[in-house]
Amino acid sequence: MSEVKYEKPTINKIEFAMASKYGSPMKTQNIRTEIDGVSVNKLTEKYGSPIFVFSQRQIEEKYNTLYSAFSSRYPDVTFGWSYKTNYLNEICKVFHNLGSIAEVVSEFEYQKARALGIEGKNIIFNGPYKPYEDLKIAVQEGAKIHVDNLFELNDLEKIADELDMKIPVAIRINMDTGTYPQWSRFGFNYESGDAYEAIKRMYDGGKLYLNGIHSHIGTFMLDANAYKLATTKIMQLKAQVETDFNSEIEYIDLGGGFASKSNLKGVYQSADVIVPTADDYAQAITDAIYANNKSEKLPKLYLETGRAMIDEAGYLLTSVHGYKRFPDGKKGYILDAGVNLLYTSTWYNFNIELDKHYEGENEPSMLNGPLCMNIDVIEEHLMLPALDRGSVLTISPVGAYNYTQAMQFIRYKPAVVMIDTKGEAHVIKDVDDLATVNYKEV
């Protein structure tokens, strides 16, 4: 045998339309060999494949960018870590160590925050469904309760009687901010007067008082101006309530929704072009507070930024298991990770990066997961060179919502590794096994 280097045989029809001054789709390869200095191949060798990888350095940088965008413009701002975005304990701890309080939308998220040592007063309890007993515990522990509906308001009055106390609450409102779709399912509508009515009802009852106004206008908001409108409406409502009920509202909360640099399907400009910066969002919100503040004190400002904090700090490493040639000529790769781990693949196109440079041209390819399901498509059409079996692909950004929504379906949920700020990798969640899957079955 000789030492002639082997390169898989390829043939591709030459489409002259494809050659352009922007570089050839037949040649472009996106390569990632490491994350924060740790080789992707070493990560999968050591911890298995597929595997989720988070960069603590990138989380901290993002937090600092967002925090300073606001703190440089406004004296009193606090972020609440949106647990549902990613509630792995070690991830939550990173945010809490940076100064975030917790934002939760269920009893189990609430319990998780408490188990991490977060005091009730540092937990924002949101959401349309707060079971009575859990709501009562949250009230007793001094949590920030954001009322979603009139049933909850009644429950809170009952709790006030039971505990013989007057309960401070915030109200979630929704409104038209000129964006589509309008999130009108949560909280009380501003324009219709429902929000004001609910507040009046609250004061009439005499058992609750308002200390905050909250809105979360939607997710992946590409228009910073929508926040200006939302803030303006919140500040107007605040001024009206303070006058009408002779009260002082301590805080406003603008929720989450800042876009991350994901590529939304059907949008052809790159995320770098269309996603507003942290400064754009901060400017929009703080300008509107200053412009509409009627009280002596500025309100405390809370934000519940989820995806923009963590999406780009999360990666999924997956390995090529094999490939097939489909009847339409496309090459279909079988990967060890699929849509079971990539819930957001319905809406976003991911960056797919190769672990090395390949000689040879790209050809139309498709990435399929390991599930025995026709819907298991990570990427329907992309140009790739002939990949080796076992080569590692890095899929990003996947830090927001993918792990929390990953399904234990057909395959075990994979391990999660965090690379700390010294560049060392640690397992923060082990891969599941039969015992985890069978847990609590009879």
Ligand X SMILES: Cc1ncc(COP(=O)(O)O)c(C=O)c1O
Q: Which residues of the shown chain bind other proteins in the complex (CB under 8 A)?
A: 1-4, 6-14, 26, 323, 325, 327-329, 331, 359-361, 386
- Residue 126, binding choice from other proteins, ligand X, none, Cβ under 5 to 8 Å by partner class: ligand X
Q: Which is nearer to ligand X, 105 or 393 (CB)?
A: 105
Q: Is residue 370 at the binding interface for ligand X, with CB under 6 A as the rule?
A: no
- Residue 239, binding choice from ligand X, other proteins, none, Cβ under 5 to 8 Å by partner class: none
- Residue 305, binding choice from ligand X, other proteins, none, Cβ under 5 to 8 Å by partner class: ligand X
Please, what is the end-to-end C-alpha distance for the chain in angstroms? 59
- Residue 402, binding choice from ligand X, other proteins, none, Cβ under 5 to 8 Å by partner class: none
* Beta-bridge partner residues of 429: 416
- Phi, psi angle pair for 270, to nearest 5°: -75, 155
Q: Which is nearer to other proteins, 20 or 246 (CB)?
A: 20
Cβ-Cβ contacts under 8 Å for 69 (sequence gap 6 or more):
277, 278, 279, 281, 282
3-class DSSP assignment, residue 142: coil
The span of 300-308, 343-351, 412-420, 434-442 binding ligand X (CB under 6 A) equals 300-308
The whole-angstrom separation of Cα 73 and Cα 55 is 28
- Among 44, 55, 82, 86, the residue binding ligand X under the rule CB under 6 A is 82
CB of 357 to other proteins, least distance (A): 14
Q: Which is nearer to ligand X, 229 or 392 (CB)?
A: 229
> What single-letter DSSP state applies at residue 414?
P
- Residue 216, binding choice from other proteins, ligand X, none, Cβ under 5 to 8 Å by partner class: ligand X
- 427 near 416, Cβ under 8 Å? yes
Q: Is residue 256 at the binding interface for ligand X, with CB under 6 A as the rule?
A: yes
CB of 218 to other proteins, least distance (A): 45
Q: Is residue 238 at the binding interface for ligand X, with CB under 6 A as the rule?
A: no
Residue with tokens 């609450």: 169
- 208 near 160, Cβ under 8 Å? yes
Element spanning 395, H or E? strand 392-396
Q: Which is nearer to other proteins, 1 or 435 (CB)?
A: 1
**Size of site (CB under 6 A) for ligand X:** 16
The whole-angstrom separation of Cα 148 and Cα 166 is 18
- Phi, psi angle pair for 337, to nearest 5°: -125, 140
- Residue 12, binding choice from ligand X, other proteins, none, Cβ under 5 to 8 Å by partner class: other proteins
The span of 231-239, 254-262, 328-336, 426-434 binding ligand X (CB under 6 A) equals 254-262
Residue with tokens 């997956």: 318
Q: Is residue 257 at the binding interface for ligand X, with CB under 6 A as the rule?
A: yes
The whole-angstrom separation of Cα 283 and Cα 84 is 26
CB of 118 to other proteins, least distance (A): 53
Could you list the beta-strand ranges (E) of 279-337. Answer: 300-303, 314-325, 331-335
The whole-angstrom separation of Cα 257 and Cα 305 is 6
- Among 109, 148, 304, 355, the residue binding ligand X under the rule CB under 6 A is 304
Q: Which is nearer to ligand X, 41 or 305 (CB)?
A: 305
Q: Is residue 219 at the binding interface for ligand X, with CB under 6 A as the rule?
A: yes
- 226 near 182, Cβ under 8 Å? no
Residue with tokens 């809370």: 302
Residues 137, 142, 143, 148, Cα dihedral to 10°: 80
- Among 255, 314, 338, 414, the residue binding ligand X under the rule CB under 6 A is 255
Name which of residues 155 to 184 contact ligand X (CB under 6 A).
none
Positions that interact with ligand X (CB under 6 A): 82, 85, 103, 126, 216, 219, 255-258, 304-308, 400
